[in-house]
């Protein structure tokens, strides 16, 4: 994506508070924070008060390079955060309510956080994504009453009970395997006749005696009054409806990007993801994007971290140009 890069002397810049503000406290955000802080950029990371990174509720991450024995998401993020803080990163646990540009040449961005406002030369959007909901009858009404989007959070409540997992990707199968530590039986409902999950996860799931599969089926209703008692599924070919008795329903059918904050500022794709080039440049001068909120094929911790590093370097170059310090 093309944009005008300003190169001005530091004396001519309007007053500002930070070289860069990072929005989001996941792997992309904290990796960006490590790189910008280490590069000497005055950086504020706003990690949000009402939201948490999806990675913090992941039970086991075993494909992150250098940690062969695996680690849970919360502990991994603490390692990211502690490393960033060591380099002088400032953090704030509040929600960003608005961003806008104060000037046009050069662009100075104004970030509203709670009752405060910060002026910054650049921003990195690392706002992540949230779990997609099915929108079927009973899902919203029974959320927190048997309907869940986090096996790590709620799995222990289902000891010796039957539960359903909806989905066939990595997350769905990994969480189904986790639930076998508690549940008596785990029924995986998937709309296709094969899984999308990584081969090693499929192998484990098929070998697990507690896991059963309902193939070519869509969940069409969650059943229950005060608490989940089962689900209705419909065969994708015949439309035949059947009932599965269960006390818990865990839904993992994709993500929705957390990009409402920038929908009127940046160009997004048809699904709401931020469009960037290979260097994490967005359609707006001085704003970069990284991690699950940007349009890309593969969303993993390691790719989010790579995005964060790239966004940080691009921000460093951009800020250097603005200050007239480009090498």
The catalytic residues are 150, 153-154
Give per-residue burial for 151-185: e unless 16+ CB within 10 Å, then b.
bbebbeebeeebbbbbbbbbbbbbbbbbbbebbeb
| Distance separating alpha carbons of residues 61 and 72, to the nearest angstrom | 6
Which residues 6+ apart lie within 8 Å of 178 measured at CB?
Answer: 59, 60, 151, 152, 155
Nearest residue to 308 via CA among 2, 1, 43, 18: 43
| Distance separating alpha carbons of residues 98 and 167, to the nearest angstrom | 34
Which residue shows structure tokens 């992309």?
28
Which residue shows structure tokens 């599924």?
233
């Amino acid at each position: 994506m093309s944009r005008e890069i300003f190169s001005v002397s530091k004396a001519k810049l309007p007053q500002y508070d930070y070289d860069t503000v990072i929005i989001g406290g996941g792997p992309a955000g904290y990796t960006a924070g490590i790189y910008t802080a280490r590069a000497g950029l005055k950086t504020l990371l706003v990690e949000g008060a009402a939201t948490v990174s999806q990675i913090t509720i992941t039970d086991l991450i075993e494909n992150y390079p250098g940690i062969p024995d695996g680690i849970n998401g919360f502990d991994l993020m603490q390692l990211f955060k502690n490393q960033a803080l060591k380099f002088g990163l400032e953090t704030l646990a509040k929600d960003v309510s608005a961003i806008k540009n104060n000037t046009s040449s050069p662009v100075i961005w104004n970030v509203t956080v709670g009752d405060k406002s910060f002026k910054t030369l650049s921003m990195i959007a690392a706002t992540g994504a949230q779990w997609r909901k099915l929108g079927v009858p009973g899902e919203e009404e029974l959320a927190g009453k048997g309907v869940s989007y986090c096996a790590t959070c709620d799995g222990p409540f289902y000891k010796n009970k039957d539960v359903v997992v909806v989905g066939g990707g990595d997350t769905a199968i990994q969480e189904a395997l986790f639930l076998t530590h508690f549940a008596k039986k785990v029924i995986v409902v998937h709309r296709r006749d094969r899984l999308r999950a990584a081969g090693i996860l499929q192998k484990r799931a098929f070998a697990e005696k507690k896991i059963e599969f309902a193939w070519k089926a869509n969940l069409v209703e969650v059943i229950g009054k005060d608490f989940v008692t089962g689900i209705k599924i419909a065969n994708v070919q015949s439309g035949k409806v059947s009932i599965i008795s269960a006390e818990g329903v865990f839904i993992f059918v994709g993500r929705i990007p957390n990009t409402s904050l920038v929908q009127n500022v940046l160009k997004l794709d048809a699904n709401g993801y931020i469009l960037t080039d290979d260097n994490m440049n967005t359609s707006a001068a001085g704003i970069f994007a990284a991690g699950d909120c940007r349009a890309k094929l593969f969303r993993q911790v390691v790719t989010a971290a790579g995005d964060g590093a790239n966004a940080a370097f691009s921000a460093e170059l951009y800020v250097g140009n603005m200050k007239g310090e480009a090498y």
